[in-house]
Amino acid sequence: MTILLAVVIISVAEVVILSLAFRTFERADEKRARLELERAAQTERPRSRFFGEAAAIPSSDGAALEALLARLERHVRLEQQAAQWFLDNPTPETLHHRAPVRPHVTH
C-alpha cells in the first residue's frame, strides 16, 4: 500500500513538474514571437499612399525634406499636365495615360 501511494505521489509530482516546464517554455516562445513582431513593426516604414517615390526618402533631415518636397512638386506638375491632356482629349485612354512631358516654363 505504501509503495502504491509513493508511486502515485511521484507520478502526480512528475506530471505537475512537466506541465510547469511546458508552460514556461510556451510563454518564452510567445514572448520571443511578440518581440519579433514588435521589432518588425518598428523597422517597417509605412507605405506611401499617394506618392510612391516618397517612401524612399530618409527622415529627419532638412535636405531630404527639401528633396521630397521637390519630388512632390514635380509629381503635381506632371499630374496636372496629364490631367490637362485628358481634358483637351477626353477619352478613357488619355485619362490614365502618362502626359507628354513639357518643360517647366518660367514667365
Partner 1 sequence: MTTTVESELLLDLPPDAARSVLLLGTPATLEAGTVLFDLGGDADRLFLIRRGRIALTLPMKVEGRVADVLVEEKVGGEVVGWSAIIPPHRFTLKAAATVETSILAIPREPLLSLLEAEPTLGYALTRSVARIMGQRLQLFQAMWLRQMQRLLEANPAGEWSGR
19 vs 80 by CB, closer to partner 1: 80
Q: What residues contact residue 68 under an 8 Å CB cut-off, 6+ apart?
A: 54, 57
Site string for partner 1, 35-54 (x = CB under 8 A): --------------xx-x-x
87 binds partner 1 (CB under 8 A): yes
Stretch that binds partner 1, among 9-17, 21-29, 34-42, 58-66 (CB under 8 A): 58-66
36 vs 73 by CB, closer to partner 1: 73
101 binds partner 1 (CB under 8 A): no
Figure out which of the listed residues 11, 19, 24, 80 binds partner 1, where binding follows CB under 8 A. Answer: 80
* Cell numbers for 65: 525634406
11 binds partner 1 (CB under 8 A): no
71 and 47 in contact (C-beta within 8 Å)?
A: no
**Side-chain half-sphere CA neighbours of 38 within 13 A:** 6
Taking residue 68's Cβ as centre, other Cβ atoms within 10 Å add up to: 19
Looking at residue 55, the DSSP 8-state letter turns out to be G
Shortest CB 36 distance to partner 1, Å: 23
Figure out which of the listed residues 83, 89, 101, 102 binds partner 1, where binding follows CB under 8 A. Answer: 83
48 and 55 in contact (C-beta within 8 Å)?
A: yes
